[in-house]
């Protein structure tokens, strides 16, 4: 079932006064220092409904509290941003994932790439809402400005979010070290690189479910930074801090810097997991006042088939597969004439006799030979399982969904932040925590 989760019940921003360095950092980004700032962000790829929920919720909370919404764009990654998966085919056994590219892009960190060249993509057999979403994405790429790759990709995201989320000020992750507060973090690592790494690794070990890789210790320890060298990205080490390298933060340092200078940070489920590591790391190494983190996520699935229909088709295919394994020529209930005849031949001989052994071997040879001609049921069973898994995915771009479904999701989210609900601002919709997207 589709669901919406906004936690905790009440979103309370940072209330402590901003110190001068934080005020300088906010001015560096053109942010106010006399009203709340709420931030959410992601890589600049078309958001699925769970990610879109963060942006809608942040905007709704900001409107209620006369705050400013800021979008954090993670432009330090190596992943392609114009690669698109789309579902094709029909249930229960014919759904596949077709992958195409919306633009030709170079490799390396997104912040360093040349702007991508939009391209047309193949027409495939997809549900109507998916086809409409693909067309919207193709148009967005064609219309995006081409000053730099990160701004181009973010323009596409803004375009496809625009029915539900207004444009907002943007901070690119690649800019964070350049700010006054970013410079403080680099200086802290310069002063205590070993302590930084030891605390980081202890925190990562404490939360293995977050899957944060440890940093290499030693005389020249690895730091939670990347060195950007042209179109290349490599881990930064303590010795790099004395060089004139361009440095950008890794994931934990990215949110540490941002949460140290804003008033509220909206995460999804993945971000909430790794933020545990970040908070434990700073508690061990450099205790820092941080903006509270809150959770906003949702699951909306495309209408690619009903779970009950997949289960029924799977049961039918499983029965056919079992029959093919033991009586390949059978059609419907009961034994096939071939197997019945071979069983009767086995029964005509006494146990332990050469004749019974020969008849049994003939029965096994028949099953084995004919089984190879009836492998289709096993293939169909695998296809049903694959189709069901694709249908269960929650990470298709929001623009693949029928517009009314996302409109409904946005309406429910905004309703959670209405003036009437201030005592329970972000309480998950009652009575269940799974309001359906229809």
- Per-residue pLDDT tens over the stretch 294-320: 999 999 999 999 889 999 988 887 777
Q: What are phi and psi of 42, to 5 degrees?
A: -170, 175
Nearest C-alpha neighbor of 148 from the set 114, 176, 175, 174: 114
Co-location of 237 and 358 in the same domain: no
Answer for the pair 234, 226: CB distance below 8 angstroms, yes or no: yes
> Residue 420: its pLDDT value, please?
42
Q: Which DSSP category does 95 fall into? A: -
Co-location of 196 and 334 in the same domain: no
* Out of 12-16, 112-116, 149-153, 232-236, least confident range: 12-16
Q: Residue 370 — pLDDT band, cuts 50, 70, 90?
A: low
Q: What are phi and psi of 139, to 5 degrees?
A: -65, -40
Burial of 57: CB neighbours in 10 Å, binned 0-12, 13-18, 19+: buried
Co-location of 227 and 327 in the same domain: no
Co-location of 218 and 359 in the same domain: no
Helix, strand, coil distribution of the chain in percent, nearest 5: 50, 15, 35
Burial of 223: CB neighbours in 10 Å, binned 0-12, 13-18, 19+: buried
- E strand spans, 81-202: 83-88, 96-101, 103-104, 117-118, 170-172
The pTM score is 0.85
Q: What are phi and psi of 55, to 5 degrees?
A: -70, -40
Distances (CA, A) of 138 to 15, 87, 100, 326: 44, 16, 11, 51
> For the chain, how many structural domains are there in total?
2
Dihedral, 88, 268, 255, 400 alpha carbons, nearest 10: 30
SS3 call for 12: coil
Q: Is the pLDDT of residue 431 over 50?
A: no
Q: How far is Cα 71 from Cα 340, in angstroms, rounded to an integer?
A: 71
Share of the chain above pLDDT 70, in %: 89
Last residue of a domain, one of 370, 391, 412: 391
Nearest C-alpha neighbor of 72 from the set 175, 172, 179, 181: 172
* Average pLDDT of span 320-331: 69
User: Two tokens at 333?
Assistant: 């209930």
Co-location of 221 and 323 in the same domain: no
User: Two tokens at 170?
Assistant: 């943007």
Q: Residue 231 — pLDDT band, cuts 50, 70, 90?
A: confident
In sequence order, the 6+-apart residues with CB closer than 8 A to the CB of 359 are 342, 345, 346, 348, 349
Co-location of 218 and 198 in the same domain: yes
Co-location of 319 and 222 in the same domain: no
Co-location of 210 and 325 in the same domain: no
**pLDDT, averaged across the chain:** 89
Question: Domain of 373?
Answer: 307-391
Higher pLDDT, 356 or 11: 11
Co-location of 94 and 176 in the same domain: yes
Mind listing the pLDDT tens digit for each residue in 266-291? Answer: 999 999 999 999 999 999 999 999 99
Q: How far is Cα 389 from Cα 115, in angstroms, rounded to an integer?
A: 35
Co-location of 63 and 76 in the same domain: yes
Co-location of 343 and 272 in the same domain: no
Higher pLDDT, 18 or 217: 217
Mind listing the pLDDT tens digit for each residue in 140-171? Answer: 999 999 989 999 999 999 999 999 999 999 99
Q: Which helix H or strand E contains 205, and what residues bound it?
A: helix 193-206
Co-location of 223 and 342 in the same domain: no
């Amino acid at each position: 079932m589709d669901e919406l989760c906004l936690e905790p019940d009440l979103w309370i921003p940072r209330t402590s006064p901003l110190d001068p360095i934080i005020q300088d950092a906010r001015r560096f980004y053109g942010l106010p220092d006399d009203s709340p700032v709420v931030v959410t962000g992601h890589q600049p790829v078309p958001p699925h409904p769970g990610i879109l929920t963060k942006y809608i919720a942040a905007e709704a909370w900001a409107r209620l509290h006369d705050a400013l919404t800021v979008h954090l764009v993670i432009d330090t990654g190596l992943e392609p941003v114009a690669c698109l998966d789309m579902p094709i085919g029909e249930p229960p056994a014919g759904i596949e994932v077709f992958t195409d590219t919306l633009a030709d892009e170079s490799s390396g960190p997104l912040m360093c790439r040349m702007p991508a060249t939009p391209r047309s993509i193949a027409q495939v057999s997809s549900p109507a809402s998916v086809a409409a979403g693909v067309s919207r994405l193709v148009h967005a790429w064609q219309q995006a400005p081409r000053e730099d790759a990160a701004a181009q990709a973010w323009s596409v995201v803004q375009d496809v979010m625009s029915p539900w989320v207004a444009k907002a000020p943007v901070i690119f992750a690649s800019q964070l070290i350049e700010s006054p507060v970013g410079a403080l973090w680099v200086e802290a690592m310069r002063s205590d690189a070993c302590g930084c790494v030891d605390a980081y690794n202890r925190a990562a070990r404490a939360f293995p479910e977050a899957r944060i890789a440890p940093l290499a210790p030693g005389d020249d320890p690895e730091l939670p930074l990347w060195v950007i060298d042209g179109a290349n990205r490599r881990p930064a080490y303590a010795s790099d801090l004395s060089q004139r390298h361009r440095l950008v933060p890794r994931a934990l340092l990215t949110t540490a810097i941002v949460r140290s200078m804003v008033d509220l940070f909206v995460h999804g489920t993945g971000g909430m997991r790794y933020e545990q590591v970040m908070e434990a790391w700073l508690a061990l190494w450099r205790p820092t006042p941080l903006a509270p983190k809150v959770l906003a996520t949702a699951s909306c699935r495309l209408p690619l088939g009903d779970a009950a229909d997949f289960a029924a088709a799977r049961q039918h295919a499983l029965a056919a597969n079992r029959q093919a394994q033991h009586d390949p020529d059978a059609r419907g209930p009961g034994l096939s004439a071939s197997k019945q005849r071979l069983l009767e031949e086995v029964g005509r001989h006494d146990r332990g006799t050469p004749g019974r052994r020969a008849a049994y071997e003939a029965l096994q040879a028949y099953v084995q030979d004919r089984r190879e001609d009836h492998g289709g049921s096993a293939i169909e069973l695998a296809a049903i399982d694959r189709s069901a898994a694709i249908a269960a995915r929650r990470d298709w771009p929001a623009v693949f969904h029928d517009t009314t479904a996302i409109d409904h999701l946005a309406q429910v989210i905004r309703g959670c932040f209405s003036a009437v609900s201030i005592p329970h601002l972000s309480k998950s919709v009652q009575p269940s925590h799974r309001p359906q997207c229809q």
